[in-house]
Amino acid sequence: MGGDAFTFKFLGLTFNATNIISGLVIYAIVFFVLFGMSRKIQMKPKGAQNVLEWLIDFTNGIVRSQMPNEETGHYSFLAFVLFVFIFFANQFGLIFNLSWNNQEILRSPTADPVVTLTFSLMVIVLAHFAGIANKGFGGYLKGYVKPFALMLPVNIIEELANFLTLGLRIFGNIFAGELLLKLVAGVAFSHGALTIIPGFLLELLWQGFSVFIGSIQAYVFVTLTTVYISRKVSE
């Protein structure tokens, strides 16, 4: 978007500095927001504690609606952290989109397919491990020939498709949103005062819509995560 990816090599692996800087900033934001909200924990909640408890209830509700009650324990925590992180990551690029020397420094890390596929890979691997841990290796393999043996290739393709769609869906939404923000900004400054006012309004409109999309995508990602895990764990 705002220039080339700023990559460097370390220990034989290629790193993208934009993603790493943005990721660290978002980690810090997520941590300090949650840290600040959980300082004065009381029996009778007040202020920030109410917000945090509402958030926990919200993600717990997503998990509870997808899996049996006795399995929710650890996954509700994963869902909570995933939701908060992806939500902040999605909104981050709408506010901070920083470039320097034609190289991006800050943007949404979720506008990069490598990052989103990292998260979907994490979730899918976790789901498969949970399936093996819960039903044993035999029970896990039997899941591929359900409802009958002929479905084996379809099931394998489905697993791969789950992994790709989970990551690429959020990448597509956030990437497209930020790209359009850039384009509208470019149009707004192209013809001076003639375009700056409609451009400003259009940018405002699209930013609001992007906030909405970012929240929905965080919700969808967490919901699908719990769906994939519960499908491996239950039955």
Query: Residue 74 has which token pair?
Result: 């650890």
Closer Cβ to other proteins, 179 or 204, answer by number: 179
Q: Are 41 and 56 in contact (CB under 8 A)?
A: no
Closer Cβ to other proteins, 52 or 188, answer by number: 52
Query: Residue 206 has which token pair?
Result: 């699209």
* Residue (of 78, 74, 222, 80) closest to 134 by Cα position: 74
* Residue (of 174, 171, 178) closest to 117 by Cα position: 171
Chain centroid to CA 61: 18
Q: To the nearest whole angstrom, how small is the minimum distance from the Cβ of residue 91 to other proteins?
A: 17
Q: Tell whether omega for the bond before 109 is within 30 degrees of 0, i.e. cis.
A: no
Q: To the nearest whole angstrom, how small is the minimum distance from the Cβ of residue 39 to other proteins?
A: 9
Closer Cβ to other proteins, 115 or 202, answer by number: 115
CA–CA dist 90, 109 (Å, integer): 8
Q: To the nearest whole angstrom, how small is the minimum distance from the Cβ of residue 92 to other proteins?
A: 14
Interface positions with other proteins (CB under 8 A): 4-5, 7, 9-11, 13-16, 19-20, 23-24, 27, 30-31, 34-35, 37-38, 41-43, 45, 49, 52-53, 56, 77-78, 80-81, 85, 109, 112-115, 117-119, 121-122, 164, 168, 175
Q: To the nearest whole angstrom, how small is the minimum distance from the Cβ of residue 60 to other proteins?
A: 9
